Amino acid sequence: LMDDGRSVEVTVRRLPDGSCVALHEDVTEKRIADARVAYLAWHDALTGMPNRSRLREETLRQLKRNARGEDMSLLVLDLDRFKPVNDTLGHAAGDEVLREAARRLRSSVRETDLVARLGGDEFAVLQCGPVQPMASTVLARRIIEQLSMPIEIDGQVVHVGCSIGV
């Protein structure tokens, strides 16, 4: 890594006569592209949240750890009245509702909880550690309260909400 932030890869090859040839290649753009591909493999492009694949991997990892008896819960939710937003205000407004729902979900959970977008208007929260079922009940109520608050999009107020299964 260079002082200016560029990444330079150096390859040195010894030739049969004993001399060496060094190749210096700026791989900054390649590393940025590779990092972006890796990020998109585990995150939802619209909300920036972990995606279904990341949730699955983290759930499996937590289940392996759970052999010690740690409580955990998985809350799966979908937004209520989301389709009418898309149908009447358009998909850009629907995308804005999804981003706002993601923001509200993130603000409703602990830093150690994993919030993921499964697709469409479906989300999930993996909650590990607190005593269950009490903690998931408290969290579900908090999420319902947050997602029931009105959302303003381009001067229009929309009311969604959510249904949660634990």
Query: Which segments of the chain does DSSP mark as H helices, in order?
Result: 28-42, 52-65, 82-89, 91-108, 134-148
**Whether the Cβ atoms of residue 113 and residue 128 lie closer than 8 Å to each other:** yes
Those residues whose C-beta lies under 8 Å from the C-beta of residue 95, and which sit 6 or more positions away, are 46
Q: Which two tokens stand for residue 72?
A: 């955990």
> 3-state SS of 18-49?
CCEEEEEEECHHHHHHHHHHHHHHHECCCCCC
CA dihedral 61, 65, 67, 68 (to 10 degrees): -160
Residue 78 annotated to the active site: no
Q: Which residues contact 136 (CB under 8 A, 6 or more apart)?
A: 73, 75, 127, 166
- Given the residues 3, 78, 87, 121, the one annotated as active site: 121
**CA triple 63-65-69, angle to 5 deg:** 85
Annotated active-site positions, please? 121
